[in-house]
Amino acid sequence: MHRIARIFIPILALSAAFTVPAAGQQGPDTAWVPVVERPAYGGSGPRVGIDQAHRNFHTATGNYRPFATLLRRDGYRVSASTQPFTRESLSAFDVLVVANARGGDDVETVSSAAFPAAERAALREWVRGGGSLLLIADHQPFGAAAEALSLEFGVGMSKGFTRDTTPGRSGRSQSFLRFTRENGLLGRHPILEGRDARERVGEVMSFTGQSLSIPAAAAALLVLSPTAEDRAPPTVAELREQAAQQQRVIDSIAAAARGGGARDTAVRATRLAPAGEARYSPAAGRAQAVALAFGTGRVVVLGEAAMLSAQVIEIPGREIGRMGLNVPGHDDQQFALNVMHWLSRLF
């Protein structure tokens, strides 16, 4: 990954979650085209709703457009879920995907609860009666917005950021985590085995997320190591300072480009003031993905969203990084398909 991207991709991810002036952009990679060699369904498969009724940062026409395309190529019937959760609205779907809901549109409200009690109760009873839920909440602010819903199924969220400082357990960034059979961080579950050896998952990579608790009745799919750590979520003041830092970097790069200067020199010359003291706690014994049965329904909760998508990070006139299925060297696409196959009861 480009050095500039490593400096402020986490900051960009934060500022993108609420309305702040920013010149950087995070969006779907429309050039990435998934290939599904063995579609699970013949085009009239289960009905999948992707939530967009809760200020979701990832929707079927936005950052989860590549994921929606992948599912359609596997034979699912994918549509947007545009209504509040009720027994009637949920009856339109076999599998519901809820990704990165937000409680509001600004720094003060984005972390507030995204799901009213009545909607949480309706969704809980829909799952208990046989529905399948894929609930995804990234790093701060998304965990705080979604935790009241995840707790309906016994899954707690750290609500901050998770990293691993041990080589071999993270990628070029300490928050890009690697879960492999070799490092022992892939759990044991049918999702990780697939229908046969061709669908067996050997490595999953996540791209900056949070940690999850593991209920007694759940299986950990992506296990955090003894050296994994959770960074506490930043305060509102820290969020504003981080967004300001990002803008200073982007402005310096743009000014250097206009003057014919080097972008890396501009970054080095930009003062990045500390945005609050980092506060870490151990994340050992937690996970970034869990699966569980709930009544007659099924639930998968992920603490990271990009692993199911294909996204690009851009600043004016330049792509500086990619996250998700468009990054080579992992089995994230097969993991995504296997999650959906389990939720749709293919196995």
CA atoms within 13 A on the CB side of 37: 4
Residue 210 pLDDT > 50? yes
pTM over 0.85: yes
- Strands (E) across the chain are located at 25-28, 47-51, 77-81, 95-99, 132-136, 161-164, 178-180, 203-205, 219-223, 228-231, 280-282, 287-294, 297-302, 310-315, 318-324
Residue 130 pLDDT > 90? yes
Q: In what order do the strands lie in the sheet with 310-315?
A: 25-28, 310-315, 318-324
Average pLDDT, the chain: 88
pLDDT-based confidence at 314, cuts 50/70/90? confident
Tell me phi and psi for residue 145, to 5 degrees: -70, -30
Paired tokens of 346: 């293919």
pLDDT tens-digit series, residues 243-302: 777 677 667 766 766 666 655 554 454 444 444 567 899 999 999 999 999 999 999 999
pLDDT-based confidence at 2, cuts 50/70/90? very low
* Residue range 196-212: mean pLDDT, rounded: 97
pLDDT tens-digit series, residues 46-61: 999 999 999 999 999 9
Q: Which domains, and CATH codes, for the chain?
A: 24-224+282-343 (3.40.50.880)
Helix 3-16 to helix 236-258 angle (10° resolution) is 130
pLDDT value at position 207? 95
Residue 38 pLDDT > 50? yes
31, 168, 242, 247, 313 from 12: Cα distances, Å? 22, 25, 9, 9, 9
The share of the chain scoring above pLDDT 70, in percent, equals 84
pLDDT value at position 21? 39
* Residue range 145-167: mean pLDDT, rounded: 96
* Residue range 337-345: mean pLDDT, rounded: 98
Are the C-beta atoms of 311 and 234 separated by less than 8 Å?
A: no
